[in-house]
């Protein structure tokens, strides 16, 4: 009960551990944007260092929140080969046919998703922690 009250007080609306200072909160999840220009694997390591993972966007509500709060291109925890979930927010013309060279996915500043080379150093990281409940 105390966890729920504290989570509600700090704004993540969950009975899970509250978000750390500096992390954004929405609908029971915490988010941290690590600015910079990283490759997908560098972004993945940056999130691991923050005890988190690259964000996995699970539905339209989460997509809307991230689109309204993140204004830069960010790597997300999705590869084009992944078939889990039903939420997709591909930009027009995506995903393309060049899976061998563009197998990682970035969220553009306006929220659409785009396949990109995993080695491209041109996106920030958006991390989501594994919460303790």
Write the pLDDT tens digit of every residue in 61-119: 999 999 999 999 999 998 655 554 556 888 888 876 665 566 899 999 999 999 889 99
DSSP 3-state of 11 = coil
Query: How many angstroms separate the CA atoms of 29 and 11, rounded?
Result: 10
Omega of the bond leading into 95 within 30 degrees of 0 (cis): yes
Domain layout of the chain by residue ranges: 34-124
Going by pLDDT thresholds of 50, 70 and 90, the confidence category of residue 10 is very low
Write the pLDDT tens digit of every residue in 13-44: 555 678 889 999 988 889 999 999 999 999 99
Q: What is the dotted CATH code of the domain comprising 34-124? A: 3.10.100.10
- The rounded Cα 70 to chain-centroid distance in angstroms is 10
Query: How many angstroms separate the CA atoms of 96 and 80, rounded?
Result: 10
Q: Are 132 and 53 in contact (CB under 8 A)?
A: no
pLDDT at residue 17 in the model? 75
């Amino acid at each position: 009960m105390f966890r729920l009250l504290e989570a509600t007080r700090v704004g993540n609306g969950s009975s899970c551990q509250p978000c750390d200072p500096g992390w954004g909160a929405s609908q029971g999840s915490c988010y941290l944007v690590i600015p910079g220009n990283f490759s997908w694997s560098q972004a993945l390591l940056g999130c691991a260092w923050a005890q988190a993972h690259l964000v996995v966007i699970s539905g339209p509500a989460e997509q809307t929140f991230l689109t309204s709060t993140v204004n830069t291109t960010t790597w997300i925890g999705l590869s084009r080969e992944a078939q889990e979930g039903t939420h997709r927010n591909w930009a027009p013309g995506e995903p393309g046919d060049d899976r061998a060279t563009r197998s990682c996915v970035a969220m553009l500043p306006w929220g659409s998703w785009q396949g990109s080379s995993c080695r491209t150093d041109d996106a920030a990281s958006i991390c989501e922690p594994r919460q303790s409940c």
